[in-house]
Amino acid sequence: MKVLVIGNENRYKKYMPDVEIIKEADITFCTIGTSEEELIRQGKTAQVLLVDAIAPVSKNLIENLPNLQLIHSEGVGYNAIDIHTAKERGIYVCNNKGVNAGAVAEQTILLMLGLLRKVATGDMSVREGNQLKTKEKAMIEGITELADCKIGLIGFGDIAKATAKRLNPFECEIYYYSRTRLPKEIEDEFRVTYMELHELATTCDIISIHVPVTEETTGMINQEFLKKMKRTAYLVNTARGEIVDNEAVRQALIDGEIQGAGFDTVYPEPTTKDNILVNLPDEAADKVLFSPHIGGITSSTFFRAHENIWSNVEAVMNDQRPNYVVNGVLKIRRG
């Protein structure tokens, strides 16, 4: 069995489970950014393609790997994979659904608290010897507790559910929007209340994004949405950068249309210092808190993810359907 991996070799080896299927595999590792020509050369006979969640898998690449039976994202995201071409060729595309839900939920709440408590500027002020001055300013301006916030979750999949579960002990009001309202028993279980999207925007003190990247969600946090938000509200994105219109958020921060924003992911990746959300003018720079897209990369997440990946590889090699198929293929075409 030939396996082509597009991703970090050390990471894949660190988190590999001790299972027999790996001992049977001829694995070739290629880094993200390897040319398609080289990927095709290295993986010409590959039956399995394992890819970093942000690694592109194009129509051309898929069509030139004739033995391919499975493409598996290392993470939850799969928007960089041409799932339509894979479906046309009868190739499973799988992800690790829900594997990082708890980890990303923790990161989401960290950004919420970090914004409310101005953690980044507070840390800097202490390092610069301005602790007392900063404390006195905070007492005058006021600090909002998470318990006093109405939290709005856009989307209510695995990560949003994990976020709601972890927010409940903070005693804040939690609202959610999704295309389909959930049954009352699920709303009661997570102690959340449904709101239409426009009402969520106008009502909530913190808006947190938890939807995948699709044609519908790309750029959905735009000027129109931001103008509906409270001027005292915060935006948090631990989903994907493509969901946010960078220019619209930048202007909203500069004009004071929102209080601030927390980002674990910024489009495009890798995030560079000239990105318009990073390269803000001084009057808006301290309104934003960044983390380097680490929400879903805990050790536990990777161990769970790689156990699932190799379980799915084994299933496919045994002519069984793997779990978390995202492109609708019911059974691969052989021969």
Active site residues: 240, 269, 293
According to DSSP, the residues that pair with 207 across neighbouring strands are 152, 235
Q: What is the dihedral of CA 94, 97, 103, 108, to 10 degrees?
A: 110
Give per-residue burial for 294-309: e unless 16+ CB within 10 Å, then b: ebbbbeebbebbbbbb
Burial of 63 (0-12, 13-18, 19+ CB in 10 A): middle
Give the pairing type, strands 206-209 and 150-154.
parallel
Distance CA 103, CA 80 (A): 22
Q: What share of the chain is helix, strand, coil (3-state, %, to 5)?
A: 40, 15, 45
Instruction: Return the axis-axis angle of helices 131-141 and 119-127, rounded to nearest 10°.
Output: 150
* Angle subtended by helix axes 119-127 and 101-116, to nearest 10: 60
Question: What number of CA atoms fall less than 13 Å from residue 244's CA on the CB side?
Answer: 29
Say which residues have a Cβ less than 8 Å from residue 13's Cβ, sequence separation at least 6: none
Q: Name the E strands within the chain.
A: 2-6, 26-30, 48-51, 70-73, 92-94, 150-154, 173-177, 193-194, 206-209, 234-237, 260-263, 288-290
The closest of 148, 146, 179, 180 to 163, measured between CA atoms, is: 146
